[in-house]
């Protein structure tokens, strides 16, 4: 049997190999002691099982990284809640600084954690058939906050907020968008924004 070829040797090894689930449990220390002892003895001499465990280890290391709290996960994420339109919220928050008057539907109002968001959707006067959005964010630090308009997971346009929390988008195709506001430690999502 000294000249047994490698592939046959491999096949013989694999006959006595524990299955992948057992190997995995062994690796994670989940097997009872005597079962673990048997597999430890086998793994010590089986190149295939060693390789399988190495692969498992690499896989676990990869997923462990993504489970660690990242800077992203320390960010407060708020889903903006649409408030009913009406004079009351409007008088509390005002309208965006450069909003045009005479829009009888009034701005769309949202509440997201500590932030209040007001969006005025209008026809873009400079681009026929296109829309513009005038936005105002109150209640949070608006320095270094970016507003992004997303359609089908693609960022269509992005701007930064001014000191007072104003921002605007122009030349937009009518449709349904998601608006995100992201700063150092907050992220606000306003979904299903129909313009
Ligand atoms: Zn084996």
Q: Specify the higher pLDDT residue, 155 or 105.
A: 155
Average pLDDT, the chain: 80
- Rounded-to-integer distance, Cα 180 and Cα 191, Å: 8
Question: Has residue 91 been placed in a domain?
Answer: yes
**Count of domains forming the chain:** 2
- Whether residue 20 is predicted with pLDDT greater than 50 in this model: the reply is yes
- Rounded-to-integer distance, Cα 42 and Cα 38, Å: 6
Does 154 lie in the same domain as 84? yes
Q: How many angstroms does the Cα of residue 52 sit away from the middle of ligand 1?
A: 9
State the distance between the two ends of the chain, measured CA to CA, in whole angstroms: 77
What is the token pair recorded at 107? 């701005």
Does 167 lie in the same domain as 135? yes
Radius of gyration of the chain (CA): 29
Q: How many angstroms does the Cα of residue 11 sit away from the middle of ligand 1?
A: 10
Q: pLDDT tens across 84-107, in order?
A: 865 444 444 555 544 444 444 678
Q: How many angstroms does the Cα of residue 62 sit away from the middle of ligand 1?
A: 24
- Whether residue 129 is predicted with pLDDT greater than 90 in this model: the reply is yes
What's the pLDDT at 144? 86
Does 105 lie in the same domain as 135? yes
Q: How many angstroms does the Cα of residue 58 sit away from the middle of ligand 1?
A: 18
Structural domain harbouring 107? 74-194
- Whether residue 25 is predicted with pLDDT greater than 70 in this model: the reply is yes
Of 68, 83, 105, the one marking the end of a domain is 68
Decide if 189 contacts 146 (C-beta within 8 A): no
Q: How many angstroms does the Cα of residue 50 sit away from the middle of ligand 1?
A: 7
Decide if 17 contacts 42 (C-beta within 8 A): yes
Does 64 lie in the same domain as 113? no
What's the pLDDT at 61? 75
Does 157 lie in the same domain as 112? yes
Q: How many angstroms does the Cα of residue 60 sit away from the middle of ligand 1?
A: 20
- Whole-model pTM: value is 0.54
- Rounded-to-integer distance, Cα 14 and Cα 163, Å: 67
């Amino acid at each position: 049997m000294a000249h047994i070829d490698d592939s046959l040797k491999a096949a013989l090894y694999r006959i006595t190999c524990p299955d992948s689930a057992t190997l995995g449990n062994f690796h994670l220390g989940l097997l009872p002691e005597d079962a673990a002892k048997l597999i430890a003895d086998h793994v010590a001499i089986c190149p295939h099982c060693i390789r399988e465990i190495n692969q498992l280890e690499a896989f676990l290391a990869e997923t462990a990284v993504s489970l660690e709290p990242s800077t992203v996960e320390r960010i407060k994420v708020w889903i903006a809640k649409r408030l009913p339109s009406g004079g009351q919220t409007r008088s509390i928050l005002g309208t965006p600084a450069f909003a045009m008057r005479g829009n009888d539907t009034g701005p769309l109002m949202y509440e997201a954690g500590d932030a209040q968001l007001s969006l005025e959707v209008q026809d873009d006067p400079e681009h026929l058939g296109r829309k513009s959005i005038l936005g105002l964010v109150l209640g949070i630090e608006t320095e270094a906050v970016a507003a992004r308009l997303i359609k089908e997971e693609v960022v269509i346009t992005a701007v930064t907020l001014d000191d007072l929390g104003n921002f605007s988008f122009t030349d937009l195709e009518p449709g349904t968008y998601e608006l995100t506001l992201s700063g150092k430690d907050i992220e606000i999502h306003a979904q299903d924004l129909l313009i």
